[in-house]
Structure 1
Amino acid sequence: MMRGLLYAIGFLTRIPVPVSVFEDTRARRLSVLAYPLVGLLLGVILAGLGLLLEDHDDLLASALILVVWVGLTGGLHLDGLADSADAWIGGLGERTRTLDIMKDPRCGPSAVVAVVLLLLTKLAALQAMPGPLRMPALLLAPLLGRTALTALLASTPYARAAGLASDLDGSGRAPWLVMAAALLASLLAGVDGLLASVAAATVFGVWRQAGMRRLGGYTGDTAGAMAEMVELAVLVVMALRLG
């Protein structure tokens, strides 16, 4: 399981891990179970940074937190959001066309607009929360975003014959136990955790259904887009409550 966690850290973040772990097929399959732990790790780092910056200007602190957030993930899920935005609009409701556009490395205007709007809204949500009240949001958003990834892989077929996420093992009972533990941890935050969990579950349900209707499943890009949208929903809901 430890190698699965290391694989998940190396795959979902830019935190260095031993290169040999990526040669372990079993670690790759088990890494799905560790996604929520990676989210928790990101949350702890971001909350720690937020604590260090809580006495500084809210806008500057929020911007620095967001820069570190993107840097830690290498923009992995932002890339998925960009590709999904281009494909969903340019695909014109057609499955094959949508999948083909996702494979195109070029970014269209829809991709740029989607990424800019998401980052601006994240920044606004972080800035709207007073420094000390920002910590729960910084912990919960990455945790629930990666928990949603585990839920997607456990409940949804892969839409392509092969791809980066095609052999990740999200089947069986274990992913559901992991998700239950992550949600329980969120609920320990009280009302904030409950609102965050509801927001995450809503985005998960709506986006999963959209993927099933258009593609018959998920791709790595739609999974990344979902993680970003879950994070955004959690931040916005908590900003509206706490700001």
Structure 2
Amino acid sequence: MSARAFWIALQFLTRLPTPRVTDMQADDLARSAIWFPAVGLAIGVLLAVIMRIFQGSGSWVAALAVLVGWVIITGALHLDGLGDVADALGAFHGKPDRFVQVLGDPHAGSFAVVAIGLQILAKLVLIAQLPLAMAPWTSSWALILIPAWARWGTLVCSKTLLPLKPGLGASVANSVSWPMIAGWGALLAIAALLGVRPTLLALIVVPVIAFYWQWRLGGITGDCLGASIEVTETLLLFACAL
């Protein structure tokens, strides 16, 4: 775990400015995956700052600012994965090969448009509900932890599921160990116990999502990991909004 690997992970998962990384190797991105939860924490801190800045403007204005910030910071990377997976699931008809084939289509179909639209709407409503359901400090802490839990989930899924095609998922499985994954899980669980216990639902949500991919597809792809991040974030927002 090096600073160089963290910058690579930050560069891959966000559009935030980072120090220039030179001499990139083929396996650098996979080796940087252990920093994915840390990148999630960085994203969450920025979201909490945005929420704090706009909290005096009303819950809906603050929620919209946070959501726009969320999309800009991540470059809509995971929303793109969610849309691709929605199109592929709508067309694969139980055939994993067909699923992978549709994922390669750069065009967005009706399933993608509906899935992304519903995801954005769900996040907007749930973020707006956070200040009403929690104290200001607690809602900020929730925004910090939720992106981290979601990206921790990608490590679990990559480690437990077979890749449907060569890519990041296959490389991460060989580069990240279970003790590292457990260490991040324990750290996030302790942080959740200190203020936002509903986010502990991630310990159930992540295995359920992994089971779903195994049952439905028999494996996972990079787009599936992106979709998993979006779904995990929304479910944890829902748990906190309650």
TM-score normalised according to structure 1 size:
0.89
Q: Indicate the larger mover: 82-91 or 146-155.
A: 146-155
Q: Percent identity?
A: 33
Give ranges in structure 2 of 5+ residues lacking alignment.
none
Number of residues of Structure 1 aligned to a counterpart in Structure 2: 235
| Residue number in structure 1 paired with 2:193 | 187
String of CA shifts for 1:133-175, please: whole Å, max 9, x gaps: 5312211211111111122222222221x23443232345323
- Indicate how the Cα distance of structure 1 residues 214 and 201 shifts in structure 2: closer, same or farther if over 3 A, else same: same
CA distance, structure 1, for counterparts of residue 44 and residue 189 of structure 2: 14
Contact 2:158 2:170 in 1 (8 A): no
CA distance, structure 1, for counterparts of residue 27 and residue 70 of structure 2: 29
| Residue number in structure 2 paired with 1:38 | 39
Give ranges in structure 1 of 5+ residues lacking alignment.
none
Contact 1:121 1:232 in 2 (8 A): yes
SS in 2 for 1:216: coil
- Indicate how the Cα distance of structure 1 residues 210 and 134 shifts in structure 2: closer, same or farther if over 3 A, else same: same
Are positions 1:67 and 2:71 aligned together? Answer: no
SS in 2 for 1:23: coil
Contact 1:6 1:21 in 2 (8 A): no
**Post-superposition offset of 1:50:** 0.9
**Post-superposition offset of 1:177:** 1.9
- Indicate how the Cα distance of structure 1 residues 164 and 21 shifts in structure 2: closer, same or farther if over 3 A, else same: farther
SS in 1 for 2:50: helix
CA distance, structure 2, for counterparts of residue 67 and residue 76 of structure 1: 13
Matched AA of 2:239: V
| Residue number in structure 2 paired with 1:197 | 200
CA distance, structure 2, for counterparts of residue 205 and residue 22 of structure 1: 36
- Indicate how the Cα distance of structure 1 residues 125 and 228 shifts in structure 2: closer, same or farther if over 3 A, else same: same
Matched AA of 2:125: A
Are positions 1:163 and 2:167 aligned together? Answer: yes
SS in 1 for 2:220: coil
SS in 2 for 1:211: helix
| Residue number in structure 2 paired with 1:229 | 231
Matched AA of 1:179: G
Are positions 1:211 and 2:217 aligned together? Answer: no
| Residue number in structure 2 paired with 1:108 | 109
TM-score normalised according to structure 2 size:
0.90
**Post-superposition offset of 1:30:** 2.3
| Residue number in structure 1 paired with 2:52 | 51
